[in-house]
Amino acid sequence: MSQQHSNSNDTAARDTSHAVQLFQDAHQKMVMLKRVEEQMAQLVQRRRTLMDELRSVQSQINDEFDKMFKSGQEIPARLKGLAAHTGAGASRGEHAFADDPAVHDDDHQLNPEDEAVA
């Protein structure tokens, strides 16, 4: 009888040991799942931050284009104003614009300082 009792104790111990192992495995998987979820939350937050930064840069680029287009619209207005003041003579009009860099923009290249700003 003591041998039967010993065998049943061994079987119970193995069953308990197996159940403990299953619970440990389950706990390990739950911990890993929690870590993955935390990492995913961090990635989502990082994505939001990057998107906000990108929108900010895009807004700055749009502002620069708006400035450029506004200054580009001022040139025709200046030309119309200068043409009105010079009278109907073409030769007088040509002389009025001779030194105006806005009119002679064909060979205009950015200065190194302008490239640093852009």
Report the C-alpha gap between 93 and 79 in whole angstroms. Answer: 10
How many angstroms separate the most distant Cα atoms in the chain? Answer: 131
| Predicted confidence (pLDDT) per residue in 28-42, tens digit | 999 999 999 999 999
Report the C-alpha gap between 74 and 93 in whole angstroms. Answer: 18
pLDDT at 116 over 60: no
Identify the pLDDT of residue 115: 47
Segment 108-116 shows an average pLDDT of: 49
This prediction's pTM: 0.46
| Cβ within 8 Å of residue 18, ≥6 positions away | none
pLDDT at 24 over 60: yes
